Amino acid sequence: MDKEATVGVRRQENRSPSPSSPSSCKKGRHYEYEKVIVHRNSKSDSSDDDEYMELYHKQVKESDGFDVDLFPDSRAIGGIITPMGPLLEDTVEECAATALDKYNKDNETNLVLVKVLKANDLVVSGIVYYITFEVKDANGGADAETRVFQAKVWRTIAKGDEVSICRLKKQ
């Protein structure tokens, strides 16, 4: 039987960013956190585990790793995308800003990072971050419409950050 578990938190900014802020979010903001409830498999039958893993892999495939709410239990070893908690929020913001800077250069746009909405990670040779965040056009002023973007950034010690996806969120 599946059980709900709190495995992370999703932060919510409680004040608006400055319209002139650069593409990376400023430190010193105040955040509130809401619990992220996900479903973990607590079944011991291996056929149930196989079905659960199939559902997990389906979510990963359909969302490219960005919108996953099923997570195999902690006995699974490696290759599992999990939700991020608040401990690495500065790192996640840096990765989102790096991805957005690349997007701006590649597409000749001037989008700025408003806030990170959520992030998942995958520990491999380094960490792959699946980040969902809001952006707006820097030339649009304070009333510029926000849009939801997604970025996949692989952070390694040896090579730094490598952006493989930065795009408007798929509907």
Which residue ranges make up each domain of the chain? Answer: 2-168
Strands, E assignment, 30-69: 31-41
- pLDDT per residue as tens digits for the range 17-35: 433 334 434 443 333 444 4
CATH of 2-168, one of 3.30.70.370, 3.10.105.10, 3.10.450.10, 3.40.50.2000: 3.10.450.10
Predicted local confidence at residue 97, as pLDDT: 97
Predicted local confidence at residue 62, as pLDDT: 83
86 pLDDT exceeds 90?
A: no
Question: Average pLDDT for residues 27-56, to the nearest whole number?
Answer: 54
Residue 166 binned pLDDT confidence (cut-offs 50, 70, 90) = very high
Predicted local confidence at residue 76, as pLDDT: 54
Which residues have C-beta within 8 Å of that of residue 122, sequence separation ≥ 6?
Answer: 65, 79, 80, 81, 82, 128, 130
CA 94: distance to chain centroid?
12
What is the SS3 assignment for 90?
helix
User: If 0-12 CB within 10 Å is exposed, 13-18 middle and 19+ buried, where does residue 92 land?
Assistant: buried
- Please give the residue that has the higher pLDDT: either 22 or 116: 116
User: If 0-12 CB within 10 Å is exposed, 13-18 middle and 19+ buried, where does residue 23 land?
Assistant: buried
Tally Cβ neighbours within 10 Å of residue 1. Answer: 6
117 pLDDT exceeds 90?
A: yes
Q: How far is 5 from 43, CA to CA, in rounded Å?
A: 14
In the chain, the amino acid numbered 102 is K
Average pLDDT, the chain: 74
Question: Average pLDDT for residues 28-54, to the nearest whole number?
Answer: 52
